[in-house]
């Protein structure tokens, strides 16, 4: 659906800061090298703690991080072949089915009790480990996003990790919000943004902006030919729930993957791709150094400024959840609508299916929605107050 691009005052709905996730998507939980063989790593996807481990064959497994016997966290246990042994009484669970396969103090002839840890689909792609926390029957049909630049040596790939003490909606709005170039003014970011096109579907928001650049950083990144020259370029920000794919006219691409941890904590794993204007052999030689230096000396400075804003926003919200806010960018309003809709659809489906423990838990963990939200808190058009 095509939406108007005029900047116009709208009241922000409060429940956007309370909604849960739709877990029926793949979420990244860490870079692959964090998951070394024979180590168990605890990760959290929206309250759900998961014990992830790589067996000695290199295969990944993901089990609910709670022993079916007494609830001890399984990440404190040991890896036995492809199984995970709980540290308390040594019950062993299969990494592929979660079934209890051994109780060390039970006679071999005795039948094992029916005790099964929940298993999550897990895969590796783009140097990241991804987990599907929702209805496991959907894991095969739901794709992980496509980053076509990943295998193309023309592009310089720069991975960036971030941690925010903020709800994922606040983080996602930051990425859609091209009008905050003001914040990065001293870093020679961008200026004079114009929203030129906006489209919304059931699961995506696509915003096109025109943005101007100048300065040494813009030149290094290939955005301008000379540092003192102003270049205006179209930028497309595509949010495909729950992650981002942003492109800047063949010059750069950003895949920004969000990991919601709790209503006040989020993580992100980003893949930046740059078409740096360097000869191929130079790029080949400098690739490791650039991939290390660009995030530290360039992107991190932008990120630190953003994190400061997002966490400030979250803190003010927590002090008074009734306070109303005004937004004028229709792309942000569309994004909020999508995030709320995805969650509400999931809650609806869970009520119908009544099948998955994770689904019930996620719905219950968001009291604002569980208790119902007054109609007037829905997004409404209106003048700025």
Q: Which is nearer to ligand FES, 86 or 271 (CB)?
A: 86
Q: How many residues interact with Fe ion (rule CB under 5 A)?
A: 1
As measured in angstroms, the least distance from the Cβ of 363 to ligand FES is 27
Which residues in the 90-129 window bind ligand FES by CB under 6 A?
A: 91
As measured in angstroms, the least distance from the Cβ of 181 to Fe ion is 8
| Rounded alpha-carbon distances, angstroms, from residue 65 to 77, 118, 339 | 10, 9, 27
Torsion sign (Cα): 245, 246, 251, 252: negative
Q: Which is nearer to Fe ion, 150 or 302 (CB)?
A: 302
Of 302, 43, 314, the C-alpha closest to 171 is: 314
As measured in angstroms, the least distance from the Cβ of 106 to ligand FES is 11
In the list 16, 86, 157, 176, the residue contacting ligand FES (rule: CB under 6 A) is 86
> Contact at 8 Å (CB) between 311 and 179?
no
Which residues in the 165-224 window bind ligand FES by CB under 6 A?
A: none
Q: Which is nearer to Fe ion, 158 or 358 (CB)?
A: 158
The one of Fe ion, ligand FES, none whose footprint includes residue 257, by CB under 5 to 8 A per kind, is: none
SS3 365: coil
Q: Which is nearer to ligand FES, 69 or 184 (CB)?
A: 69
For the record, the structure tokens of 366 come out as 């968001």
- Rounded Cα–Cα distance for residues 255 and 294 (Å): 16
The one of Fe ion, ligand FES, none whose footprint includes residue 88, by CB under 5 to 8 A per kind, is: ligand FES
Q: Does the protein bind ligand FES through residue 88 (CB under 6 A)?
A: yes
Q: Which is nearer to ligand FES, 73 or 364 (CB)?
A: 73
Considering only the stretches 52-60, 284-292, 305-313, 361-369, report the one whose residues sit in contact with Fe ion under the rule CB under 5 A: 305-313
The one of ligand FES, Fe ion, none whose footprint includes residue 306, by CB under 5 to 8 A per kind, is: Fe ion
The one of ligand FES, Fe ion, none whose footprint includes residue 321, by CB under 5 to 8 A per kind, is: none
Q: Does the protein bind ligand FES through residue 70 (CB under 6 A)?
A: yes
Beta-ladder partners of 326? 11
Long-range contacts of range 248-257, CB-CB < 8 Å, 24 or more positions apart?
248/223, 250/275, 251/221, 251/222, 251/223, 251/275, 252/221, 252/222, 253/147, 253/149, 253/155, 255/126, 255/145, 255/147, 256/175, 257/27, 257/28, 257/128, 257/145
In the list 72, 106, 194, 309, the residue contacting ligand FES (rule: CB under 6 A) is 72
Q: Is 40 left (phi over 0), alpha (psi -120 to 50) or beta?
A: beta
As measured in angstroms, the least distance from the Cβ of 138 to ligand FES is 29
For the record, the structure tokens of 11 come out as 């009241």
- Starting from the edge strand earliest in sequence, which strands make up the sheet with 380-381, in order? 325-327, 10-12, 380-381
Beta-ladder partners of 30? 129
* 360 burial via Cβ count (<10 Å: 0-12, 13-18, 19+): middle
Considering only the stretches 41-49, 51-59, 86-94, 370-378, report the one whose residues sit in contact with ligand FES under the rule CB under 6 A: 86-94
Residue 304: CB atoms within 10 Å: 10
Q: Does the protein bind Fe ion through residue 177 (CB under 5 A)?
A: no
In the list 64, 306, 313, 327, the residue contacting Fe ion (rule: CB under 5 A) is 306
The one of ligand FES, Fe ion, none whose footprint includes residue 91, by CB under 5 to 8 A per kind, is: ligand FES
Q: Which is nearer to ligand FES, 80 or 89 (CB)?
A: 89
Which residues sit at the interface with ligand FES, rule CB under 6 A? 67, 69-70, 72, 86, 88-89, 91
């Amino acid at each position: 659906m095509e939406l108007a691009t005029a900047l116009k005052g709208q009241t922000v709905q409060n429940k956007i800061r309370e909604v849960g996730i739709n877990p029926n998507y793949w979420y990244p939980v860490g870079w692959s090298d964090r998951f070394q063989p024979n180590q168990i790593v605890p990760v959290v996807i929206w309250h759900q703690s998961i014990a992830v481990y790589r067996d000695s064959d290199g295969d990944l497994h993901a089990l609910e991080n709670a022993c079916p016997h007494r609830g001890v966290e399984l990440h404190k246990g040991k890896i036995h072949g492809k199984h995970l042994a709980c540290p308390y009484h040594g019950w062993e669970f299969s990494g592929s089915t979660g079934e209890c396969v051994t109780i060390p103090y039970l006679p071999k002839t005795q039948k094992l009790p029916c005790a099964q840890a929940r298993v999550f689909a897990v895969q590796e792609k783009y140097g990241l480990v991804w987990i599907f926390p929702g209805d496991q029957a959907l894991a095969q049909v739901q794709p992980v996003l496509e980053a076509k630049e990943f295998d193309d040596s023309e592009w310089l790939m720069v991975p960036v990790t971030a941690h925010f003490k903020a709800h994922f909606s606040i983080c996602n709005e930051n990425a859609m919000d091209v009008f905050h170039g003001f914040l990065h003014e001293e870093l020679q970011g961008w200026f004079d943004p114009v929203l030129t096109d906006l489209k919304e579907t059931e699961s995506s928001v696509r915003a096109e902006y025109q943005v101007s650049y100048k300065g040494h950083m813009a030149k290094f990144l290939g955005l301008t030919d000379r540092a003192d020259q102003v270049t205006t370029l179209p930028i497309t920000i595509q949010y495909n729930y729950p992650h981002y794919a942003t492109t800047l006219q063949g010059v750069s691409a950003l895949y920004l993957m969000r990991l919601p941890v709790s209503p006040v904590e989020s993580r992100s794993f980003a893949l930046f791709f740059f078409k740096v204007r360097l000869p191929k052999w130079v790029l080949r030689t400098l690739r490791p150094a650039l991939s290390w230096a660009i995030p530290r000396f360039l992107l991190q400075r932008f990120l630190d400024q953003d994190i400061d804003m997002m966490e400030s926003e979250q803190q003010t919200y927590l002090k008074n959840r009734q306070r109303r806010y005004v937004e004028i960018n229709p792309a942000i309003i569309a994004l909020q609508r999508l995030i709320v809709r995805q969650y509400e659809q999931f809650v609806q489906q869970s009520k119908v299916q009544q099948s998955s423990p994770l689904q019930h838990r996620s719905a219950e963990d968001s009291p604002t929605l569980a208790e119902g939200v007054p109609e007037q808190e829905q997004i409404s058009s209106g003048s700025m107050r």
